[in-house]
Amino acid sequence: MNLHHIVESQQFTVPRIMELFERTEQMKKIVARGGTRDYDNKIMATLFYKSSTRTRFSFEAAMYRLGGKVLSTEHAREFSSEIEGEVLEDSIKIIANYSDVIVLRHPEEGGAKRAAAISPVPVINAGDGAGGQHPTQALLDLYTIFSECKTLDGLSVAIIGALDLGRTARSLAYLLSKFDRVKLYFIAPKGLQIKQDILDHLDEKGISYHLSESPHNIINKVDVVYQTRIERERMAKSDTDITKYNIDSSVLQKMKYDSIIMHPLPRSVEIAREIDNDPRAAYFRQTQNGLYVRMALLTMLFDNNIQE
Ligand code: CP
């Protein structure tokens, strides 16, 4: 059965992930030669009800590099008919008349699922709600880990932040659970730890995990540090000294020489700029991979190549 929409990362099997990575390598070559015209009959609509820099720009750049065209609204709350009270389902039905794929960022958890349920064209979840998912971010994160660490099996990964509502952390945990001997460390302030549904899934898959309120004695032994945004207001509620989660040059000294630091971005204070030039700082390479992975995903949808 063909996969018509990309809503959550659990949809991606290991063979499908490997197919995506092979295509991603091809996309790097296509971008290096300036792009292709192969998809010049395709139109992508980007419908963003919440702000975005990386996801929207990289999807739009991906479409242009494939030769396609883009219809876009970056503040759908103000610049779409939602302001007149139009419901999401109506907006999707209408935009589907004008486009071949819809990339949606919606403020409600489950927004992408609602859109996918009625859309005749593929819907790609570009982030739903706080605590939903961001599957294409997790796929580009996984690709970055694969390309930097040369494997996905046997890795130790520390995921840090306010993880209860961390949609990138949630989507990545689902993807990492598909690989052998992966060990996950969830590091979050009290009350903001990853939710039980993810832990239940990891238990089901037999994945080893550890929960902690502190990065100490963990950061020195992992292969990947996946830092996420520290929101001051939420941290304040947890009565936690947020500086203990920051990564700066003193933390870097404790990390393995061949480990990597990732972040979906945007960052606030949780990664000091002083470490940006360290070879282990992979977060800008990660954003570059976002372009290639999203090109690959679009071609998989357009070529009707993703099998359920
Ligand atoms: N990582 C991410 O989703 O970034 P944007 O909010 O800029 O799209």
Task: Give pLDDT tens digits for 269-287.
Answer: 899 999 999 999 999 999 9
Has residue 25 got a pLDDT over 60? yes
Q: What is the mean pLDDT of residues 214-229?
A: 95
Query: What is the 206 CA–ligand 1 centroid distance (Å)?
Result: 31
How remote is the C-alpha of 134 from its chain's centroid? 5
Q: Which of 47, 49, 55 maximizes ligand 1 atoms within 8 Å of its Cβ, making it the mutation to test the pocket?
A: 55
Residue of the CA atom closest to atom 4 of ligand 1: 54
| Proportion of the chain above pLDDT 90, given as a percent | 85
Question: Measured from the CA of 264, which atom of ligand 1 is nearest?
Answer: 1
* 258 C-alpha to ligand 1 centroid (Å): 26
* Residue minimizing CA distance to atom 6 of ligand 1: 52
Confidence label for 121 from pLDDT (cuts 50, 70 and 90): very high
Domain 135-286, CATH homologous superfamily name and number: Aspartate/ornithine carbamoyltransferase (3.40.50.1370)
Cα 200 to averaged position of ligand 1 atoms, centre (Å): 27
111/44 Cα distance (integer angstroms): 18
- What does the pLDDT average to over 261-269? 94
**Taking the CB of residue 79, how many other CB atoms lie within 10 A of it?**
12
pLDDT at 238: 67
Q: Find, among 5, 12, 11, the residue nearest to 115 by Cα.
A: 5
Q: Is 122 left (phi over 0), alpha (psi -120 to 50) or beta?
A: beta
Q: What is the DSSP string of 127-151?
A: EETTTS--HHHHHHHHHHHHHHHS-
Cα(24)–Cα(32) distance, rounded to whole angstroms? 12
Residue 200: partners with Cβ closer than 8 Å, 6 or more residues away: none
CATH architecture of 9-134+287-303: 3-Layer(aba) Sandwich (3.40)
Cα–Cα distance, 101 to 142 (Å, whole number): 23
Residue closest by Cα to atom 1 of ligand 1? 264
CATH 3.40.50.1370 residue spans of the chain? 9-134+287-303, 135-286
Cα–Cα distance measured from residue 47 to residue 221, given in angstroms and rounded to the nearest whole number: 41
| Nearest Cα residue to atom 3 of ligand 1 | 55
Residues lining ligand 1, CB < 6 A?
52-55, 127, 134, 137, 264-266
Residue 53 CA: which ligand 1 atom is closest? 7
Specify the residue with its C-alpha closest to ligand 1, atom 5. 52
